[in-house]
Structure 1
Amino acid sequence: MSESQFTGSVPRLYDACYAPAVFVPFAPVTARAVAAGDPTHVLEVAAGTGRATVAIAAALPCSRIVATDISDDMLTYAAGHRCAPNITWRPADAQDLPFPDASFEAVACQFGAMFFPDRPRAYAEARRVLRPGGRLVLTIWDAVEHHAYARLTTVVLRRLFPDDPPRFAEQVPHGYHDTARIERDLRAGGFDRVQVARETVVGRSRSARDVATGQVTGTPLGAHISARDPALIPRVVDEVTDAFRAELADPERGPDAVAGELTAYVVTAH
């Protein structure tokens, strides 16, 4: 996936509309896994807008966190909105890290590995910059059927585009859920011990439309829809919003609130 699809308005919409319901609930899960080894020097790759970064920094207040992303726009947004004294922001490609060997005790990546064109190469780079005994922690989405918001969005897209539905969600963020494949890639990258835990959280929002707007226009999905018919973007947002309201309504938290189960794998490689 090209970093060019995470530019312009995407970082803002991704962070404001989509991240609170989808990425924030997993941030403490990722942070706990990273903090388990009490590392003092941590590298985060594909940090996006920094939602997991601040959780890791809070879990390790005396540690140094270097947060990186290949997209300058995502990194600029993160640096302007996520502040902590122990975070340093740097542009970097996870497949070609600009750090010396054995620089970190932990490398973290929340929901970024699915976008790496060459995952064994990225894992080999993580291994190179890890000190002996270091750990790589990955959080990776399960299949689209196990993500309430992505599943319902996929149903809407199949209805609106019956001959050629955009399959971004199925193929990219939710296209790397085979744990045997993940383990093979990690071993190809030089890791010899891999642990996998399946985690489910509830992603909540007080606005079904916010989540729908973020899902459709705050991710590269919007570019895939626009390639077919840009005029349909508002209709897709409307119908996804309706689908969320119909199935995921959370009236105790507000008249337009929604809540959906989200499942991911937390992978630790030694």
Structure 2
Amino acid sequence: MAELTFRREAATEYDQAFAHVTRYFMPFVLRAAHVAPGMRVLDIATGTGLSAEAALSAVGSGGHVTAADVSAEMVRTARDRIGGAPNASVAVEDGQALSFPDLTFDAVLCNLGLMFFPDPARGLAEFRRVLRAGGRAAVSVNTVVEYSYNHQINEMIARHVPGLADAVSRTFGLSDERRLRTFFVEAFADLDMHTVKHTFVLPSFDAYYGPFERGGVSTGQALATLPNEIRAAVREEARRYTEKNSH
């Protein structure tokens, strides 16, 4: 089965494509985890370290943040962002098989990442294992397919690369509240769930599509595998879609 991947171009263009999205939702995640000064925090699926950077501000000089991602290229970018902080560490980690000892962290954060885990239940079990008594895990996931920032492009690509269909569908695999609740209840005794709605507006189609076209994030990596004529067809289809849905 093919997978959406994060290589060098994906990491380089990630902030251009998604920094404003990640930063918008991070305060909700920090509050849900009750992150406070002095805490030890794991930010898993950290991407380029934007969420870990926010967590560093929340824990202050007396706390510590570990930023981890399964992608070595994302970790390299995150290290450039926060690696100079004396109370931060950055590592390549599989969220479904963490290398940390039991009871290591006061909070585990996963901002817009859990839905990409092949086995989210296993990931949540790992979050629980590395949490100290009384610790909290907080995650954010995509919910509404129709208004996804990049899911429509992923579906267009998957029509040309059928092997990606499963990976693309996983992007919204946790949009069903009952399914997400079931996974959490299996790993944790208590659960609070909230829905946050926000519309992101970009100045132009090129501002939206450009980072993907340049190989940014997993969408752009998948685009890069297509012949030029198919890439052009996907671009035109995406342009028509955005024009139709921007009014």
Note if contact 2:83-2:89 (Cα within 8 Å) is conserved in structure 1: no
Matching residue within 194, 204, 209 for 2:206:
209
Deviation at 1:245, TM superposition (A): 5.5
% identical equivalent positions = 26
- TM-aligned CA distance change 1:4 to 1:238, over 3 Å: closer
- TM-aligned CA distance change 1:238 to 1:14, over 3 Å: farther
Note if contact 1:68-1:91 (Cα within 8 Å) is conserved in structure 2: yes
Note if contact 1:44-1:65 (Cα within 8 Å) is conserved in structure 2: yes
Separation (CA, whole Å) in 2 of partners of 1:173 and 1:115 = 6
Q: Secondary structure at the match of 1:137?
A: strand
Note if contact 1:19-1:51 (Cα within 8 Å) is conserved in structure 2: no
Which runs of 5 or more structure 1 residues have no equivalent in the other structure?
Answer: 250-270
- TM-aligned CA distance change 1:100 to 1:162, over 3 Å: closer
Separation (CA, whole Å) in 2 of partners of 1:194 and 1:39 = 24
Q: TM-score, normalised by structure 2?
A: 0.82
**1:226-246 deviation line (CA, Å, top 9, x unaligned):** 566453224433543464466
Does residue 74 (structure 1) correspond to residue 71 (structure 2)? The answer is no
Which runs of 5 or more structure 2 residues have no equivalent in the other structure?
Answer: none
Q: TM-score, normalised by structure 1?
A: 0.76
Deviates further, 76-85 or 217-226 = 217-226
Does residue 185 (structure 1) correspond to residue 183 (structure 2)? The answer is yes
**1:105-147 deviation line (CA, Å, top 9, x unaligned):** 1000011111112222211111111111111101111031243
Does residue 30 (structure 1) correspond to residue 4 (structure 2)? The answer is no
Shift >6 Å, 4+ stretches = 1-4, 162-166
- TM-aligned CA distance change 1:134 to 1:163, over 3 Å: closer
Equivalent pairs counted in the alignment come to: 244
**1:44-65 deviation line (CA, Å, top 9, x unaligned):** 1111111211112222223211
Matching residue within 188, 191, 212 for 1:194:
191
Note if contact 2:43-2:68 (Cα within 8 Å) is conserved in structure 1: yes
The equivalent residue for 2:41 is 42
- TM-aligned CA distance change 1:247 to 1:20, over 3 Å: farther
